Structures are given as structure tokens and as C-alpha cells.
Amino acid sequence: MDISSANSLSYEDFVDTFGNVVEKNPLVAAAIWSHRPFANLSELEARIVEFIDKLPESGKEGILRCHPDLAGRDLQRGTLTRDSQDEQSQAGMASLTPEETARMYRLNTEYKRRFGFPFIICAKMNNKAAILRKLSERSGNDLAKERECAIDEVKKISSLRLRNLVLPDTQHKL
């Protein structure tokens, strides 16, 4: 859809359409709906980023806790959101060897125990080797640094998901 179509959506349709741009957080879409009309995709994305940035640390951690573990139970059970399923599969998380699965489970468990939220990385911008490496590396961060890294990854994920829903600014000006 183009930005005009997005702007014309009712509140309910807007939340239905954009409610998973930030994983399992329709509140974000609900909060930015009142800022319509958006001049372009860039402004829509900026409003999402602004909303996230203005959240207190506890709100940011709430957003992080809504994300599934990479290659975790939800992937194995087929209960991921369609977006997460596609992103994790594209990164190779659905085709881990038994050894990689065991390592991922161990690293995810240690990470969540240390930080209180799952490891988040933009799977579409990484492959399984990079994800495993970055999971190990980032586990050494302190909480504030890791929360910041994870929120930056949420923003990357959100940006890519938005681009799957709304035409880039240059494509609808024909």
C-alpha cells in the first residue's frame, strides 16, 4: 500500500495492519495512529522510533520481552508470528543442526537469565553463524548497553517490516 492508503485506514484497520511492526506490540501502532496523516514512509517510521525512544526503560524492556527466542520453542511449535517465522527461517534458524540447536538453547537461556529478556537481533540482516557469534559477544555487555543494542535491533526489524507493508516514498510519486 502507499502512504495515502495507510493514512486512510480506520483505527482498527491501522492497528491490525501495523500491530506487529514492533513484535506483538499493537500498542505502538495504536499510539501513533493519531499522528496521521503521515507525509511519507519515513515519517511513519520516525513516529514509531520516537514512541520507542520516549518509553521509560521498563517500557523498553517490555517491548523486548515480547520477542520470541531465536530458534526457540515457538519456532519448534510453529507458534511464531508470521513475520518472525519468515525472518528466522531466512536466517537459517529453522534448519539448525542438533548441535547448533543445543548451543542456541544454552546461549539463549544464559542470556535471558543475565538480562531478563530474550536475545534480539535483526535476523533478516544476519545468518545463523553471525547470530550465534553476536549472541556470544553481546552476552558480555552490561544491562544498559545490551538494552540499547536490543532496542536498536527492534528498530531495524520494525523498519524492514514497515517496508514490507508500505511502498517506499519514491515508488508512489508516479
User: CA of 47: how far to CAs of 30, 84, 104, 109, in Å?
Assistant: 12, 22, 34, 33
Which one of 47, 60, 67, 147 is the catalytic residue? 67
Distance, in Å, from the CA atom of 33 to the CA atom of 44, rounded to the nearest integer, reads 9
Q: SS3 of 167, please? A: coil
- Residue 67 amino acid letter: H
User: CA of 101: how far to CAs of 66, 80, 120, 122, in Å?
Assistant: 21, 17, 17, 19
Distance, in Å, from the CA atom of 155 to the CA atom of 149, rounded to the nearest integer, reads 10
Residue 67: active-site member: yes
Catalytic amino acids? 67
